[in-house]
Structure 1
């Protein structure tokens, strides 16, 4: 088989950091690769290197498919280069509003006037949504939605559709399955297989448990080094031998007890009470007759497929959605709209979600971002006291990311960013924790450590928990209440 892409002894830098040294890898025509490895091993950076976003300062990277394209098709555009034959779907969207800027903000999706500045899905897809290649993505229900109102899983489906419409020679996918419900993940496996069958080469970052049938080879990374290349069969045989995740040492219970010594007491009759909740945008009903009561100390799992209304329901509790004033909602024993500010509510909540991560582009250090949880700001707007920064450092230690304390948030791996935001949610030891897909993008060890942390935390303080996930094995053992919704209704 002919070589398709060659990386030959490359050294790669981004800003002042060396990402790879003397890395070699070759993809041959007809091969489709998965890149696996622990968090921070360089998986996303390798995709960005192929895409041309990082500087190759030594060695050689050869895009053979581009050379063959130039030999086959006359190219008169002087700006045409190999990037025209690439498409990538990353962690975060790059949507532009109707003003042709990317100036979206987190709560914008819940404000009907502001969200109208975002284009509809059908416009973003240039009216090509009927392409048979996109059928498994089930895009029809999304076409009349503004991009900003899409759930995390819906956003990923639309981004994947846009990339597929480019008909690229090489499709790069960075963890394409995270944020997708079970049905969508199964459907996307089929999409990857179909894309591969049409002649597009696929390279995806994924977990060992999510290998589409079309993947022929696996590249394993650790600390920026290639630790193995395998055929699919050889990798799966090895992985089955190592599949059991060995539980690491339990989190430092004494440190957790110290960090939560001044936890806000949950002296409430109800944390949240919602009676016959209805939320509509135009003719589109998002929530339809939801009633839910959460009492202090309860541990809830909120479950449902992409687009079922989970994020909207959480936005009513987290004081992000103005439609809470049009419904009967009691938060922390107080009727919503009775004079309390959103900051009075947020002070009692620790919150993290994929959407929050999307809009957290702070220039601050990881320690400062963790400390911003004391003031519920998106960014390090209000300086923390030394005592607050000490507590923030303690939570980073518990989550095993203390070494990143003084590194700018934007320069650390996505998995570390997620752990920083989890530390930010925990830092003030609030009476209510809302974790919306908290383990998204974490490796097996990081997930296991976080799960143990939550179980340890719940043994030490009377915290109330709402946990959203598409992977029930991620639920901490302390969760014993379940609410499942679909199409905005309790099922």
Structure 2
């Protein structure tokens, strides 16, 4: 289709089990306009995206017109998560399979996944644009979360869409990749593709002309982007004063020591000569570009990577592989990652997911004591999820699911928290609440923190140390002043990246 088309929504409503999830949404995005959709977690943003794609049943109408004539455009929808499947078509890889050399061979590679959608020359051009050419033959299950996000985007761009709907596409990308994506989206918008972003106020390409603010399944504000500063719903959430009880986190000697740790797959070196010690009560930021090895490093600590047992890694005073079980180690580490969230069975209830933290399983398969049940209820109440305890995880927004996994990590009073982008998928209010929570926990218990984030303003103030990885090679900075993290994500509400 040549040129832009207009999008007209009239009384669009989505109901499930008699409950309105989207309610009477009406607006028109004129030809040549581009939209950003904001709102708190659970406000209905992703449901609106699915309705525009035609991926969910709705009442009311969504019309696409060009010069007043109805058209049937190609609509590409890039969801917030990408479910990995084996080459056999079976979904549901188990979590540790991501790091297993043998079983990962069943996963499609980046190149085979993309070759289903486009020609080799176009694929190569997009891989170069998003710095993925060197990962062309890598199994999808081995890609980082940010690299998977780039793959999703390229896969949909190869369909030559007329309308491109992107659900939190910036999430998980490093700073350089986010800058590239801003440029790409602005270029696409100039070529006749209508851009619709489900995003937050920190990621607003210059091509966006309008924004829709959502709350409780309705559009409460639809206006030109120049009035973005008048957003209503994203007020900071106050931290609940009744924090569930946590034990003091105390251990004699270093919690973690790595000596000459190197991880290779064939001829590829993913981590190179890591020498690192984490003492009791220290808080570290682990940073680096997409694919630098950050999540791989945490997988060694958490015991999910098989090569962890052939390396000189000491946890809580014992060398890994010297006789302790994986569960002995995991019982002292609270762990959160984007990948972990995706490997839970969607039918697992919120209560079960939180409770599985007592046993470090992905799902609850053991009977709980009365004290454990009480602890689960306390944490769900703390995150205002107590009324949803028996709902399946799939019924929650991505942000609410992440809060459940944070509760799962804290529920067993760990000595160490290993958090891989814990604020990913949270709205601004939830992110601030979680950062305040981590600072408070560290202050009250002395808990050690290993923290991964691509955004400096998501780093808790208790973090004083940095490890930066560049292609698996570490650079370590000790005792960094808090001011080093006091940078805005990108820009203010009134300054957009062009």
State the TM-score, normalized to the length of structure 1. Answer: 0.90
Offset, 1:249 = 3.9
Aligned to 1:39: 41
Residue 140 of structure 2 corresponds to residue 147 of structure 1 = yes
**Aligned residue in 2 for 1:97:** 86
Displacement after TM superposition at 1:205 (Å): 0.3
Q: Deviations over 1:19-74 (max 9, x none)?
A: 122211222221111101111111011001112232213x222233699686xxxx
Partner residue of 1:194?
187
Q: How does 1:313-332 map to 2 (within 5 A)?
A: 313-332=297-316
Q: How does 1:262-277 map to 2 (within 5 A)?
A: 265-277=249-261
Specify the alignment match of 1:485 in structure 2: 469
Secondary structure at the aligned position of 2:106 is classed as: coil
Task: Name the residue aligned to 1:30.
Answer: 32
Q: Distance in 1 between matches of 2:122 and 2:260?
A: 35
1:294 Cα deviation from its structure 2 partner: 0.9
Q: SS of the residue aligned with 2:155?
A: helix
- Cα gap change, 1:437/1:31 in structure 2, threshold over 3 Å: closer, same or farther? same
For the structure 1 residues 68 and 137, does the alpha-carbon distance in structure 2 shift closer, same or farther, using more than 3 Å as the test?
farther
Matched, 1:216 2:209: yes
Distance in 1, matches of 2:153 and 2:68, equals 26
2:386 pairs with 381, 397, 402, which one? 402
Distance (whole Å) between structure 1 residues aligned to residue 380 and residue 323 of structure 2: 35
Structure 1 residues 15 and 185, CA, compared in 2 at 3 Å: closer, same or farther?
Answer: farther
- Partners of 1:66 and 1:418 lie apart in 2 by 43
1: distance between equivalents of 2:303 and 2:105? Answer: 21
Structure 2 residue aligned with 1:383: 367
Change (3 A) 1:66 1:206: farther
Contact 1:251 1:456 in 2 (8 A): no
Counterpart-to-counterpart distance in 2, 1:388 and 1:461? 20
Mark the runs of 5 or more structure 2 residues left unpaired by the alignment.
476-498
Label 1:66 to 1:330 Cα distance change in 2 as closer, same or farther (>3 A): farther
Corresponding residue for residue 122 of structure 1? 111
**Within the alignment, does 1:225 sit opposite 2:226 as a pair?**
no
Distance 1:246 1:362, change over 3 A: closer
Distance 1:219 1:138 in 2: 32
Partner SS state of residue 469, structure 2: strand
Aligned match of 2:337: 353
Match for 1:56 among 55, 58, 77? 58
1:238 pairs, out of 219, 230, 235, with: 230
1:85 lines up with 2:87 in the alignment: no
RMSD between aligned residues: 2.2
**Structure 1 residue 168 and structure 2 residue 161: aligned?**
yes
Stretch deviating more after TM superposition (404-413 or 43-52): 404-413
Deviations 1:132-162 (A, max 9, x none): 4554312212102111000111110111110
* Rounded Cα–Cα distance in structure 2 between residues aligned with 1:318 and 1:282: 23
Quote the Cα distance in structure 1 between the aligned partners of 2:125 and 2:267.
Answer: 28
SS at match of 2:102: helix
- Structure 2 matches for 1:458-469, cutoff 5 A? 458-469=442-453
Instruction: Name the CA distance, whole Å, in 2 between partners of 1:208 and 1:477.
Output: 23
Q: How many residue pairs get matched? A: 469
State whether residues 257 and 278 of structure 2, in contact with CA within 8 Å, keep that contact through their aligned partners in structure 1.
yes
Give structure 1 stretches of 5+ with no counterpart. 71-81
> Is residue 206 from structure 1 mapped to residue 199 from structure 2 by the alignment?
yes
- 1:357 and 1:180 map into 2 onto residues whose CA distance is 17
CA distance in 1 between partners of 2:140 and 2:375 (Å) = 38
Aligned equivalent of 2:486: none
3-state SS of paired residue (1:458): helix
8 Å contact kept, 1:5–1:65: no
Secondary structure at 1:112 match in 2: coil
Q: What is the DSSP-based 3-state SS (H/G/I as helix, E as strand, rest coil) of the residue aligned with 1:382?
A: coil
- The whole-number CA distance in structure 2 between the counterparts of 1:441 and 1:99 is 30
Shift in Å, 1:129: 5.1
Residues in 2 aligned to 1:15 and 1:116: alpha-carbon distance in whole angstroms: 41
What do residues 429-467 of structure 1 show as CA deviations (whole Å, max 9, x unaligned)? Answer: 110111110001111111111111111111111211101
> What's the CA shift string for 1:181-208, capped at 9, x where partnerless?
0000000011111121221111110111
Asked whether the equivalents of residues 129 and 139 of structure 1 are also in contact (C-alpha less than 8 Å), the reply is: no
User: Residues 107 and 385 (structure 1 numbering): CA distance in 2 closer, same or farther, change over 3 Å?
Assistant: same
**How many Å apart are 1:2 and its aligned residue?**
8.3
What residue in structure 2 maps to residue 415 of structure 1?
399
Q: Residues of 2 paired with 1:382 and 1:53: CA distance?
A: 37
Partner of 2:479: none
Q: Per-residue deviation at 1:416?
A: 0.4
With over 3 angstroms needed to count, the CA separation of the structure-2 counterparts of 1:67 and 1:325, relative to structure 1, is farther
Deviation, structure 1 residue 16: 4.7
Q: Secondary structure at the match of 1:26?
A: strand
The 2-side partners of 1:86 and 1:128 are apart by 23
Q: Tell me if structure 2 keeps the 8 A contact 1:65–1:169.
A: no
